[in-house]
Structure 1
Amino acid sequence: MFSIDSHHITASSTAEAAEQLKSQLVSNDCQFVIGFCEAALLKALPGELNLTSPCLFTSSCLGSSNEQQLSLQQHSISMLQFKDKAGFYGVASSQASTDVRSAAAQTLLNAMEKSGRGHLSPQLIWCFQTPGQEEQVLLGIQDIVGTKVPVFGGSSADNTIEGQWGLHDGSKRLSHGFIIAVLYPSVPVLGYFGSGYELTGRSGTVTKVSGRKLQEIDGQPAVDVINTWRTQLGHPMLEDGNVLAASTMTPIARLKSSSDIPLLLLSHPAMASNGCLDLFSEVHPGETLHLASGSTRQLLERGPQVIRTARDIAKLRGMLSLEGAIIIFCGGCMLAIQNAMAEVQAAMAAELPDLPFIMGFTFGEQGTFSDGESRHGNLMISCTLFGGDRET
């Protein structure tokens, strides 16, 4: 019998919350645990949680949510506990490495070995990582299982974008690195990955880039080109310095489908300096970049819309019942509509009636588009649904 339980913990101190978490984890027999912690609380968790089941936690911007409660600017934890004695789960982690891709490949193999399924490809791979290495982690995973195994996850976040994020694999905390989980549940699972933004009709080609520093578009300084597009659409120009807030509604996008419904993979500009833009994800020479546009209304509506789409796909695939969900919601988008997040959480809960779920607010999102390939982006949202073994 497959089931999922969600738990949401809030406390007045990190020590109290950590004690509640330990008590909850020890008192429940389960096969897999996944959760989101407010950043300061994750740092306060004991190094060893004394668990017998595979476990992974990441820090989440300001807080987290389950189906019953949203906590922001509080010491909080949201987690799912999977009871699935017919399923198989494995978790492995890696700390700082000079060769992230190779380390990710080996970490995935370690997780697969720990699952008890050997080198059989999992139904789903989940990854949490600290920001800056997401593309290399994905490449390492795909070196082992190819590009058709869905990979979902999120990048660790903190409350002030100062690098105070972290991870926990049940036996140790990591301030830098990644955790990979392999899931072979006894029930169907699917995920949906989307943006909720639109194209503006402004685009150009990457002509110079170094890592995540976008230097030129169409042979011109990247900031100059972006500012030309912005002013044409009535937006103020980006000034040198932190541009995260200023660019949340007008990120850069790459078009990943030429169908009637475009699949937009977003990149969030972080800093502008000397004509260059530092991004939270990689772009490459020769790629076409678009200026995308969002609105407060779109950010308010996209969570429920993503869940509805995921549920529609589940029905088409014959998932007769649902048992729970994991939702990744970009931390930058959450900050842009922070005062309305209680309304958003309630609308999402209404789309998943009586179903347990958790939602975290990340500084990077990983997921699989409808073309079957998994990617890393920014300002994205995902919903991963777990089916049931009974008909509703």
Structure 2
Amino acid sequence: MFSIESHHIAASSTAETTERLQSLLASHDRQFLIGFCEAALLKALPNDLSRTSPCLLASSCLGSANEHQLSLQQHSISVLRFTDKAGFYGVASSQEATDVRAAAAKTLLSAMEKSGRGHLSPQLIWCFQTPGQEEQVLLGIQDIVGTKVPVFGGSSADNSIEGQWGLHDGSQKLAQGFIIAVLYPSVPVLGYFGSGYELTELSGSVTKVTGRKLQEIDGQPAIDVINRWRTQLGHPMLEDGNVLAASTMTPIARLKSSGDIPLLLLSHPAMASGGCLDLFSEVHPGETLHLASGSTMQLIERGPQVIRTARDIAKLRGMLSLEGAIIIFCGGCMLAIQTAMAEVQAAMAAELPNLPFIMGFTFGEQGTFSDGESRHGNLMISCTLFGGDRET
């Protein structure tokens, strides 16, 4: 029998929330636990949070949500508890900061061994990591299982982009690193990954980049090109310094499909300095970059739209019932529409009637596009659905 329960705890102090969480965990026999936790609360959690069941938590910007409640500016945690006696789950973590790709491959193998399924490819791989390691973690995972096993997840976040994010693997807290979970549920699972932004006709080619520092587009300083594009769309120019908020509605996009519905992989500019832009994801020489465009209303509407699309895909694949969902919502987008997030949460709950789900607000998103390849992007959203054995 497969079942999912969501739990949301919010209180005015970390001590009270921690006490309520520990009481909840002690009262349930669970097989797999995944959740999102406000950053200060995560740091206050004990190391020995879950000794008997696979568990992974990521810090989330300002708070978290489930199908019943959204909590922002509170010490909140949202967890999804799986009971699946016919399924298999494994979790492993690493704090490696040098050869992340090799460490990710090793960590994935460890999670697979812990699941009890050996080296059998999982139905789904879930990863949480601190910002900056995402592409290397994905490459390490794909070194082991190839590119066709779906990988979903998110990058941990804090409340003010000060690096106070963290992770918890059930037995220890990680200030930096990553956690990989392998899922072999006894029910079908699928995920949908999208952006909710529109592609503009403004584009250029990457001519110089170092890591995540975009230096030149079409042989010109990156900031000059981006500001020229923004001016054409009626936006003010970006100035040196933190540009996260200013660039949320005009991120950089790479087109991953030329079909009727373009698949946009977004990169969020974080800092501008000396003609360069520091991004929250990698771009590479020769890639074509577009300026994408979004609006407050688009960000409000995209969450329910992503869920509807995921449900449509589930029906096409013969998933007659749904048991629950994990939703990743970009923290930068959440901050841009913070006053409307209660409306967004309610609309998502309406799209998943009577189904448990949790939602976290991340500083980077990982997911699988319809072409079957998993990627890391920014300002993205994902919905991962778990099926059941009864018709809804």
Q: Same fold (TM over 0.5)?
A: yes
The worse-fitting range, judged by mean Cα deviation, of 143-152 and 7-16 is 7-16
The residue matched to 1:202 in structure 2 has which SS?
Answer: strand
Residues 179-258 of structure 1 mapped to structure 2, 5 A cutoff: 179-258=179-258
Q: Which residue of 2 aligns with 1:300?
A: 300
Residues 1-392 of structure 1 mapped to structure 2, 5 A cutoff: 1-392=1-392
Would you say the 8 A contact 1:91–1:181 is kept in 2?
yes
**Matched residue type, 1:372:** G
The residue matched to 2:226 in structure 1 has which SS?
Answer: helix
Query: Which 4+ residue blocks in structure 1 deviate beyond 3 angstroms?
Result: none
**Matched residue type, 2:190:** L
Q: Deviations over 1:267-321 (max 9, x none)?
A: 0000000100000000000000000000001000000000000000000000000
Give distance in 1, aligned partners of 2:325 and 2:264.
23
**Matched residue type, 1:65:** A
The residue matched to 1:301 in structure 2 has which SS?
Answer: helix
Give distance in 2, aligned partners of 1:166 and 1:124.
23
The residue matched to 1:7 in structure 2 has which SS?
Answer: strand
In percent, how many aligned pairs have the same letter?
A: 89
Would you say the 8 A contact 1:26–1:51 is kept in 2?
no
Give distance in 2, aligned partners of 1:241 and 1:192.
34
The alpha-carbon deviation at position 328 of structure 1 amounts to 0.1
**Matched residue type, 1:27:** S
Would you say the 8 A contact 1:112–1:182 is kept in 2?
yes
Would you say the 8 A contact 1:63–1:74 is kept in 2?
yes
The residue matched to 1:250 in structure 2 has which SS?
Answer: coil
The alpha-carbon deviation at position 96 of structure 1 amounts to 3.2
Give distance in 2, aligned partners of 1:290 and 1:97.
31
Give distance in 2, aligned partners of 1:318 and 1:327.
21
The residue matched to 1:347 in structure 2 has which SS?
Answer: helix
The residue matched to 2:297 in structure 1 has which SS?
Answer: helix
Q: TM-score, normalised by structure 1?
A: 0.99
Give distance in 1, aligned partners of 2:51 and 2:197.
41
Give distance in 1, aligned partners of 2:17 and 2:43.
12
The residue matched to 2:344 in structure 1 has which SS?
Answer: helix
**Number of aligned residue pairs:** 392
The alpha-carbon deviation at position 3 of structure 1 amounts to 0.5
The alpha-carbon deviation at position 25 of structure 1 amounts to 1.2
The alpha-carbon deviation at position 97 of structure 1 amounts to 2.5
The residue matched to 1:182 in structure 2 has which SS?
Answer: strand
Give distance in 2, aligned partners of 1:96 and 1:145.
20
Q: Deviations over 1:226-254 (max 9, x none)?
A: 00111111110000000000000000000
Give distance in 2, aligned partners of 1:382 and 1:49.
27
**Matched residue type, 2:275:** G
The residue matched to 2:143 in structure 1 has which SS?
Answer: helix
Give distance in 2, aligned partners of 1:16 and 1:296.
35
The residue matched to 2:320 in structure 1 has which SS?
Answer: coil
Give distance in 1, aligned partners of 2:243 and 2:359.
26
The alpha-carbon deviation at position 200 of structure 1 amounts to 1.3
The residue matched to 1:16 in structure 2 has which SS?
Answer: helix
The residue matched to 2:23 in structure 1 has which SS?
Answer: helix
Unaligned runs of 5+ in 1: none
Give distance in 1, aligned partners of 2:322 and 2:7.
18
The residue matched to 2:234 in structure 1 has which SS?
Answer: coil
Give distance in 2, aligned partners of 1:251 and 1:262.
16
The alpha-carbon deviation at position 260 of structure 1 amounts to 1.0
**Matched residue type, 1:380:** M
Give distance in 1, aligned partners of 2:169 and 2:291.
38
Q: Deviations over 1:51-87 (max 9, x none)?
A: 3110000000000000000000000000000000000
Give distance in 1, aligned partners of 2:147 and 2:38.
32
The residue matched to 2:71 in structure 1 has which SS?
Answer: strand
The alpha-carbon deviation at position 367 of structure 1 amounts to 0.1
Q: Deviations over 1:166-212 (max 9, x none)?
A: 00000000000000000000000000000000011100000000000
The alpha-carbon deviation at position 389 of structure 1 amounts to 1.6
The alpha-carbon deviation at position 47 of structure 1 amounts to 1.1
Would you say the 8 A contact 2:100–2:137 is kept in 1?
yes
Give distance in 1, aligned partners of 2:12 and 2:235.
41
**Matched residue type, 1:88:** F
The alpha-carbon deviation at position 22 of structure 1 amounts to 1.2
The residue matched to 2:109 in structure 1 has which SS?
Answer: helix
**Matched residue type, 2:207:** T
The alpha-carbon deviation at position 143 of structure 1 amounts to 0.1
**Matched residue type, 2:383:** C
**Matched residue type, 2:176:** H
**Matched residue type, 2:151:** V
Unaligned runs of 5+ in 2: none
Would you say the 8 A contact 1:252–1:269 is kept in 2?
yes
**RMSD over aligned Cα, in angstroms?**
0.5
Q: Deviations over 1:25-66 (max 9, x none)?
A: 121111100000000000000011143110000000000000
